[in-house]
Amino acid sequence: MRHVAVIDYGMGNLRSVSKALETVSESAEIHITSDPKHILDADHIVFPGVGAMRDCVSELRRLGLDDVIREASQTKPFLGICLGMQALLSYSEENNGVTALDIVPGQVRHFDTQRERSGNDFKVPHMGWNEVRQNISHPLWQKIDDASRFYFVHSFYVDPTDAGVIAGTSRYQHEFSAALSQENVFAVQFHPEKSQSAGLQLLKNFLNWDGQS
């Protein structure tokens, strides 16, 4: 029996993520956990998150999970979702600047709220269903059409130093990274657990993934 750890650090609702994983899983056991041992023993790691970056990073440190995530992200199939994606970068502009986990070098930036009112895309958060272009072929994109729509809700976006890690892009105000791939780490800005069939397929692909791209 494979074990999937959904990392719980008090940020947002993990029930939807674990229910979605249960729905697509044929044999895996899904655990919502903040126990470092459970996380390091799991076969697959899901790192979700909703909320603010400062709280996220301080909770991870308080629970001793920052080093656990660093270690797990080196070795196992690892999926970051939304804030769980952003926290993997080096530094975020949110909350007047927060140093993040620095697993994927790069910055987390804010969408521009001062844009011309005539544009359709000045509203922040970027909320709703947007197309994701697949920049690379990857096991997590299997059976998902290019330019499928996924559900986003975020005010910040990731800007990795190495453009080679970008696995998918979307357009809002400008093109931004909607998915990153770095060895055994895959991370998405959208919410697969709220993206109906395309999202469930991505989660299913993740459970079937051995961490090799």
CB of 47 to other proteins, least distance (A): 17
Q: How far is the CB of 8 from other proteins (least distance, A)?
A: 12
Q: Which is nearer to other proteins, 32 or 40 (CB)?
A: 32
Secondary structure of residue 17 in the 3-state scheme? helix
Residues 35 and 130: their CA atoms lie apart, in Å, by: 35
User: Between 91 and 122, whose beta carbon lies closer to other proteins?
Assistant: 122
Query: Rule CB under 8 A: which residues touch other proteins?
Result: 12-13, 15-16, 19-20, 23, 50-52, 113, 117, 120-131, 147, 149, 151-155, 170-172, 191, 193-196, 199-200
User: Cβ of residue 25: shortest distance to other proteins, in angstroms?
Assistant: 14
Catalytic center residues: 82, 191, 193
Q: Which amino acid is at 84?
A: G
User: What is the H or E stretch that residue 82 is in?
Assistant: none
Cβ closer to other proteins: 74 or 197? Answer: 197
Q: Which two tokens stand for residue 7?
A: 């990392």
Determine phi and psi for 126, rounding to 5 degrees. -75, 105
